[in-house]
Amino acid sequence: MRLSRTSKWILGVVTIVTLAIIYLPLSVVLVNSFNTSKNMAWPPPGLTLDWWQKASNSSGLMAALSTSVMVALGATAIALVLGTLLSMALARYKFFGKQAVSLLVVLPIALPGIVTGIALNNAFRTVLGWNLSIVTIMVAHATFCIVTVYNNVMARLTRMHPNLEEASADLGAGLWTTFRLVTFPQLGSALFAGGLLAFALSFDEIVVTTFTAGSGVQTLPIWILENMFRPNQAPVVNVVAVVLVVVSVIPIYFAQRLAGSEQRR
C-alpha cells in the first residue's frame, strides 16, 4: 500500500484539526483558572491569580487529592493482581466457560455506572453489613478497573511465544521463577499501560464513588462536584484541572519510554 503525498497531507491536517478540537475546551479551562468572574463568564472580564492562591490554600483540596490518589493506587494494585491472574488463565488454557469469563470481566465497565453504584451500595450495606469507607470505594473501583489490566496483559500474552516459558521450565526453573524472570519482564509495559488506564478511570470516577463513599470521605471528583455547587468557589476547580493535566504528562511520558525501549530490545 502506498499512500500518496496528498492523502498523507490530508490525514495530517485532519489530525491537527482533531487535536485543536480536543484542546479547545481545555484552553477555556486554562483561561478560566485566571478569570476574575466567579461564574466563569466568557469572555473573562479580567484576569487574576486569586483562584490559584485559593487552590494552594485549600486543605480540603489537598485532602481530597490524597484520598483520590490512595483510592486509585489501591484499586490499581488490586486490579493489577486480579487482571494478570485472569489473563494468564485465559491466554494459556482452554476450559469450559471461558467465553463467559471473558464477558464477566467486561461487565463492570460495560454496565452503566449508576447501576454498578446502586448495586454495590446495596450489597455492601445490607448484604455484607459493612460501613461505607475509603475501602469500599477501592473495592468498587478495583472491580471495574480489572478489565483494563486484563486486556493489556491479554494482548501481550497472546502475542508472546509460550516457547520461552517452556524453555525456562525445561531448564529446571520452577513456575514462580519462570513467571518472575521470563514472563513478568515481558509484561512490563502492558502492566504499566493497563495500570495507568486503571488509575485514570478510578481517579476521575464520580457516579460509583458517590454511592460507595462513606461520610467524610471525599475524592477529588466529589470535591470538584461540591465546589461547583458552593457559592463563589467554582473557578478553583479549573486550577485543579490545569495542574492535573500538566502533571499527568510525567506518567504518560514514562509509559511511552518504557514501551519504546521494549520495542527496541
Partner 1 sequence: MISKTAMKLSALTAAAALALTGCASATPSPTSTVPTALGKTEGTVSLLAWPGYVEDGSNDPAYDWVSKFEDQTGCMVTSKSYGTSDEATSLFKTGDYDVVAASGDATLRLIASGDVAELNTDLIPSYAGVYDFLKAKPWNSVDGKVYGVPHGYGANLLMYKKDVVKPAPTSWDVVFDKSSAYKGKVTAYDSPIYIADAAVYLMAHNPELNITDPYALDETQLQAAIDLLKAQRVNVGEYWSDYLKEIQAFETGDSVVGTTWQVIVNSMSAKAKVGAILPTEGATGWSDSWMISSKAKSPNCAYKWLDYIDSPEANAAATGYFGEAPATAAACEFMGQDVCDSYHAGDEAYAAKIYYWTTPIANCLDGRTDVECTDYARWTEAWQEIKG
Partner 2 sequence: MDKYSALPKQGVETPALARRISTLLYSKVKLRLTLLLAAPLTWLVLVYIAALLALLVTALYSVDSYTSQIQTQLTFKNVLKVLTGQVYQTVALRTLGIALLVTIVDTLIALPIAFYMAKIASPRLQRLLVIAVLMPLWASYLVKAYAWRSVLSNEGIMQWLLRPLGLDTPGYGITATIITLGYLWLPYVILPIYAGLERVPNSLLEASGDLGAKTSTTLRLVMLPMLVPAIIAGSIFSFSLTMGDYITVNIVGGANQMLGNLVATNVGNNLPLAAAIALIPVLIMFGYLTAVRKTGALENL
Would you tell me which residues interact with partner 1 (CB under 8 A)?
37-42, 45, 54, 57-61, 63, 121, 125, 131-132, 210, 213-216, 218, 225-234
Task: Using the Cα atoms of residue 224, residue 226, residue 229 and residue 233 in order, give the sign of their dihedral.
Answer: negative
Q: How far is the CB of 63 from partner 2 (least distance, A)?
A: 17
3-state DSSP helix/strand/coil % of the chain, to nearest 5: 80, 0, 20
Kindly state the smallest distance separating residue 234's Cβ from partner 1, in Å.
Answer: 5
By beta-carbon proximity to partner 1, the closer residue of 187 and 236 is 236
Task: Decide whether 64 or 217 has the Cβ nearer to partner 2.
Answer: 64
Q: Which does 186 bind (CB under 5 to 8 A by kind): partner 2, partner 1, none?
A: none
Task: Provide, rounded to whole angstroms, the least separation between the CB of residue 160 and partner 2.
Answer: 13
Q: CB of residue 120 vs partner 2: minimum separation in angstroms?
A: 5
Nine-digit cell string for 208: 460509583
When CB distances are held under 5 to 8 angstroms depending on the partner's kind, the choice from partner 1, partner 2, none that residue 38 binds is: partner 1
Region at 67 (left for phi over 0; alpha for psi -120 to 50; beta for the rest): alpha
Binding partner at 250 among partner 1, partner 2, none, C-beta below 5 to 8 Å by kind: none
Nearest to 203 by CA among 96, 67, 24: 67
Residue nearer to partner 1 on the CB measure, 155 or 207: 207
Q: Where are the beta strands (DSSP E) in the chain?
A: none
User: Pick from partner 1, partner 2, none: which does 58 bind, CB < 5 to 8 A by kind?
Assistant: partner 1
Q: Rounded to an integer, what distance in angstroms lies between the CA atom of residue 193 and that of residue 198?
A: 9
Neighbours of 27 (CB within 10 A): 10
Measured CA to CA, the distance from residue 1 to residue 10 in angstroms comes to: 17
Q: How far is the CB of 102 from partner 2 (least distance, A)?
A: 5
Q: What, of partner 1, partner 2, none, does residue 36 touch, CB below 5 to 8 Å by kind?
A: none
Burial class (CB in 10 A: 0-12, 13-18, 19+), 187: buried
Among partner 1, partner 2, none, residue 216 binds (CB under 5-8 Å by kind): partner 1
Q: Which is nearer to partner 2, 26 or 62 (CB)?
A: 26
Nearest distance from C-beta of residue 86 to partner 2, angstroms? 4
23-31 long-range contacts, Cβ below 8 Å, gap at least 24? 26/245, 29/238, 29/241, 29/242, 30/238, 30/242
